[in-house]
Amino acid sequence: MMGAGKTTIGRSLAKELGRGFIDLDQALEARCGVPVTVIFDIEGEAGFRKRETQLLEELSRQPRIVLATGGGAVLVDENRAYLKERGTVVYLRAEADELYRRLARDRQRPLLQTADPRARLAELLALRTPLYEEVAHLAFDTGTLPVLQAVTRLAAQLKAYEEKT
């Protein structure tokens, strides 16, 4: 979900694991030459989702990377299939109030540019939770831990999971 820490934890996790890091939103911005907010303004959410799926299909083929998706990538069936088949998917869990605290001053999330972003976050989280749970191989609570501790713990859980499978 937006604000769960995919970009922040993902980048640090990649370092810890000695893997490359790709952030899908940032890769899309680099490819299009404009921020995500501008893609939403010009093409709407539907246009953004099409571009997101095309790039996810391409980038999820890369071996030995940590890939941070955008929070809404799970909405598209095709995306969930790419993620589930091509990698180990981690669902970074956080409560709606915590997500709001992290994002309250952020203007980079077009879906939260509403009169009541707190309610919008809670609504999106409720709609998406079943999809996050469906696609994930592992769920990880980000609630109280500082980022570096979260990364150490998550790296250990991933290692245990990958050894088991």
Ligand X SMILES: Nc1ncnc2c1ncn2[C@@H]1O[C@H](COP(=O)(O)OP(=O)(O)OP(=O)(O)O)[C@@H](O)[C@H]1O
Ligand Y SMILES: O=C(O)C1=C[C@@H](O)[C@@H](O)[C@H](O)C1
Measure the CA–CA gap between 82 and 160, rounded to whole angstroms. Answer: 23
Interaction of residue 6 with ligand X, rule CB under 6 A: yes
Binding of residue 36 to ligand Y (CB under 6 A) = yes
Residue 135 burial (CB count, 10 A): 18
Among 8, 11, 59, 70, binds ligand Y (CB under 6 A): 70
Structure tokens at 159: 């290692």
Region for 146 from its dihedrals, namely left if φ exceeds 0, alpha if ψ lies in -120 to 50, beta otherwise: beta
Which is nearer to ligand X, 9 or 59 (by Cβ)? 9
Interhelix angle for 24-32 vs 36-59, to 10°?
A: 110
CB-based contacts of 50: which residues, under 8 Å, 6+ apart? none
Candidate list 12, 13, 14, 25; residue touching ligand X; CB under 6 A: 25
Cα–Cα nearest to 19, from 51, 65, 52: 65
State which of residues 5, 8, 67, 72 lies at the interface with ligand Y (CB under 6 A). Answer: 72
- Is residue 81 part of an annotated ligand binding site? no
Among 103, 109, 131, 135, binds ligand Y (CB under 6 A): 109
- Is 10 a binding residue for ligand Y by CB under 6 A? The answer is no
Residues in contact with Mg ion by the rule CB under 5 A: 6-7
Query: Which residue numbers belong to the known binding site for substrate?
Result: 25, 49, 71, 128
Residues in contact with ligand Y by the rule CB under 6 A: 2, 25, 36, 70-72, 109-111
